[in-house]
Amino acid sequence: MDIPASALTRVADSLAPISRQIWDAKYRLKTPDGTPLDATVEDSWRRVAHALAAAEQEPQLWEERFHGALTDFRFLPAGRILSGAGSDRRVTLFNCFVMGSIEDDLASIFTHLREAALTMQQGGGIGYDFSTLRPRGAPVRGVGADASGPLSFMDVWDAMCRTIMSAGARRGAMMATLRCDHPDIEAFIAAKREPGRLRNFNLSVLVTDAFMAAVDRDADWPLVFGGTTYRTVRARELWDAIARATYDYAEPGVIFIDRINARNNLAYCETIQATNPCGEQPLPPYGACLLGSINLARLVRSPFTPDARIDGDELADLVGTAVRMLDNTIDVSGFPLEEQRQEALVKRRIGLGITGLANALMMVGLRYGSPEAAAQAGHWAEAISHAAYRASCRLAAEKGPFPLFDRDAYLAGETIQALPADIRERIAEAGIRNALLTSIAPTGTISLLADNVSSGIEPVFAHSYVRRVREKDGSTREEEVSDFAVRRYRHAFGAKAALPAHFVTAQDLAPSEHVRMQAAVQRHVDSAISKTVNVPKDISFEDFKEVYRDAYRSGCKGCTTYRPNEVTGSVLEVKPAEPSPAPAVSDSTADLLVRADKLSGATYKLRWPDTDHAFYVTVNDIEHEGIRRPLEVFINSKALEHYAWVVALTRMISAVFRRGGEVSFVAEELKQVFDPRGGQWANGRYVPSLVAAIGDILERHMVDIGFLTPTGPGRAAAAAPVAGAAPGTFCPKCSQPGLIKEEGCLSCLHCGWSKCG
């Protein structure tokens, strides 16, 4: 489809400031010294179209068609394609990897750690199943030792991830799964009770149909490894533990693994035990998949009228072009590992999804979460699925089917059996180019790029919000960021027009409405869906548990929830119409806690490898408003090579402590510091640096004095709400309280920073 030049100008010129900033920061091609090579968004579209058309026999013809699909943000390839295609950088264009199965021996474990580092270095997010590692305390034959268990090695992976910067500013993310019958499953469920632990992992429990049946019967559930039953628990109690952990601190999620394998088109040649970091791509060992989304919000014709609709022919044509673009990406992309390249080439998996669903529903007059909206979303998803399968059949007739295609086995698959007869006949005749085709991925950043359309299949989070922008001179200004559909509506009916009742946001929805939407779309998605069911903080635990049972009964392949909590914080609070003035910040020392002449405290001795002299960490306390709290820290050592940073650390920590308020984060932040030269094992945990060891001491001290409450071995949480705590969750990049959680990812509404994991 050719797009008039005037339309290109309008799109580029009308981009919201945040969209232009996202493009410049994440997707605009630049030289190593920062000089832009893409002068406009149009240049970025042209670069990507040219790179993907290189796999064609008629590249110029297909470049124009690919360019037409990208124009106006109608098709949004995932961020790695937008930033990397045509860049000549050594990066992968694939978003999703599941690494190889980890054999239960030390050499294999560290071979896989190396492979993970190489994959993340090139920008790939990875998933791992740690169920293959023997449980903690199991004997290790031949060395006279006991196994440390899968969680100890997850700590090592987590430390590695913190040091690997993927392409540009994109840091890798990881998913860890563990089977519901592994003997260490309870420790896995509780792993994130410790603030800051496994921060680079998403965690999900592999839940089997047998386990769900045992939960229904309130039966016993054996925990087994290597054919040995280590102990037996009550299935319902284990299920409640999963739900309670998620209720308290948002993880782990659950993956209905038997359903995933039963509905997998490739069940005849692979078994899946893990997913990529956000859960939308269940993949086999060394499995790889790339992503892209159809922007439904840009396809609605005659919006906000009785004739509002998405044209079926236009949608099918766009889907066909998108499938071809993603299929070509397989051939032009690099891969961190040869095993990943081979896996991608023999199966040619792609993950075509949607974004802008909530906006499209607004534009056709439907309330997100209603039965009517779910039916419409399912209809659109079905149309995309059928168009994608037909396009892949045409590609197979032209270029050949994927190499592992087995006609009889493929056609016998549960998902394939549900397709229309004409598609199954085409598959039988000429095969299919791509083994799996559809997936609903997180689209937080690319949705912001596309003029702030609603993300993936999530509801709109807020109709508008105020974004704080830091200028080059250090000053800040505020600008309003509004939702795409809201802007379109007010452009049509006036800036002060009241929004229709069906313009709902995430705050207006019941959990069951989230699940209804996910289930309606999942029926027509051959992989899986990344979606977060946001629930209110005051939801009862019994109602919360029902969300997961509802997801299982509704046919979902997994479920992720988010409830604001004390460990991970709350999501962005929407700014009220008439906000109260912020309290003034004093530059004087009048607000500092007053130091008495004599203080109580404790001194801790710390030894560290490769350091000749011990460190002595002294923490002195003060009684304030009935709570004993740390006031100052002194760190002493004869190791003069550390003198400067030790003094600096001492002064900075003490300065923070004297300000009062919530200070437990100091220990948490120190514990995340990683030393590339290596850390050490202490008390059964890997401590990644000397600074992290100091953080451990501070946390232990705060527990000992009652300022923090222990919640498990090596874990602590705030003892009580402390005056001065900041509202919401602060972005680590721009330091504004603007994080929301959608589709398994944290995204900042101020600067566009995102992190999946």
Q: Output DSSP code: residue 142.
A: T
Contacts of 523 (CB under 8 A, 6+ apart): 378, 381, 382, 555
The model's pTM is: 0.79
Alpha carbons 242 and 215: distance in angstroms, whole number: 12
Q: What percent of the chain has pLDDT over 70?
A: 84
Alpha carbons 655 and 447: distance in angstroms, whole number: 41
Residue with the larger pLDDT of the pair 273 and 198: 273
Length of the chain: 757
293 pLDDT band, cuts 50/70/90, is: very high
- Report the candidate in 481, 498, 501 with the shortest Cα–Cα distance to residue 489: 498
Q: How far is CA 62 from CA 2, 70, 135, 322, in A?
A: 12, 12, 53, 11
Residue 542 scores a pLDDT above 80: yes
Give 194-203 pLDDT, tens digit per residue.
Answer: 777 888 899 9
Residue with the larger pLDDT of the pair 167 and 647: 647
Q: Which of 65-69, 406-410, 455-459, 478-482 bottoms out in mean pLDDT, i.e. has the lowest?
A: 478-482
Region 321-348: mean pLDDT is 96
754 pLDDT band, cuts 50/70/90, is: low
Give 395-414 pLDDT, tens digit per residue.
Answer: 999 999 999 999 999 999 99
Residue with the larger pLDDT of the pair 576 and 701: 701
Alpha carbons 367 and 149: distance in angstroms, whole number: 48
Region 345-350: mean pLDDT is 98
Q: Output DSSP code: residue 730.
A: -
- The predicted pLDDT at position 571 comes to 46
Amino acid (1-letter code) at residue 320: G
Contacts of 13 (CB under 8 A, 6+ apart): none
Q: How far is CA 395 from CA 64, 487, 548, in A?
A: 18, 39, 39
- The predicted pLDDT at position 732 comes to 52
Average pLDDT over the chain reads 86
514 by Cβ neighbours in 10 Å (0-12 / 13-18 / 19+) ranks as: buried
β-strand 615-624 against 627-637: which pairing, if any?
antiparallel
Catalytic residue positions? 276, 278, 280
577 pLDDT band, cuts 50/70/90, is: very low
Residue 227 scores a pLDDT above 80: yes
Give 51-82 pLDDT, tens digit per residue.
Answer: 999 999 999 999 999 999 999 999 999 999 99
Region 212-222: mean pLDDT is 97
- The predicted pLDDT at position 468 comes to 72
- The predicted pLDDT at position 2 comes to 40
- The predicted pLDDT at position 746 comes to 67
Pull the structure tokens for residue 371.
């039965």
Pull the structure tokens for residue 451.
């003029």
Q: What percent of the chain has pLDDT over 90?
A: 59
Handedness of CA 210, 215, 218, 221 (dihedral sign): positive
CB contact at 8 A, 91 and 121? no
Residue 165 scores a pLDDT above 60: no
Q: Output DSSP code: residue 26.
A: I
Alpha carbons 331 and 315: distance in angstroms, whole number: 25
Residue 569 scores a pLDDT above 80: no
Alpha carbons 459 and 441: distance in angstroms, whole number: 14
Contacts of 247 (CB under 8 A, 6+ apart): 541, 544, 563, 565
| Domain segments of the chain as ranges | 600-718
For the chain, the distance separating the N- and C-terminal CA atoms, rounded to the nearest angstrom, is 38
Region 562-573: mean pLDDT is 63
662 pLDDT band, cuts 50/70/90, is: confident
- The predicted pLDDT at position 756 comes to 61
Region 166-177: mean pLDDT is 65
- The predicted pLDDT at position 121 comes to 80
Place of tokens 């889907």: 319
- The predicted pLDDT at position 446 comes to 93
Query: 757: how many CB neighbours lie within 10 A of its CB?
Result: 23
